[in-house]
Amino acid sequence: MVFPASMAQQNHGPQMLTANRLRDGDVLYRKSDGWVLVLADGDVFADQAGADAALAEAQAEMARNEFVAPYLFEVRVVNGVTQPVKEREIIRAAGPTVRADLGKQSGMVNV
């Protein structure tokens, strides 16, 4: 289901755009006009208008069936490091919680 940007959850502060890749379920982060696998490489949107525009663009691209369920989430930037605000996004950024030797937390990132 695609929601207009105006119906998106309103966050307070900087935001990022995330989705899941359909091929393998990997968590993706928006970078310019593409996607990256690492949160630190994604774009941070400082204002709501920029975040809403990125979300609307991603929703329009969903017809390609490369990713699913794009949404915005709140982040904070501390000493130049982007950090998710909510626990859900902290977990998604690290990778699977079932094995520390797999996923992003292991240092193994497949593109």
C-beta neighbour count of 48 within 10 angstroms = 16
DSSP classification of residue 55:
H
DSSP classification of residue 53:
H
Strand partners, 20: 27, 68
pLDDT band at 108 (very low <50, low <70, confident <90, very high): low
Question: Which of 92, 54, 91, 60 lies closest to 72 in space, CA to CA?
Answer: 54
Q: Which two tokens stand for residue 20?
A: 């899941």
Average pLDDT, the chain: 86
Q: What is the pLDDT averaged over residues 30-59?
A: 96
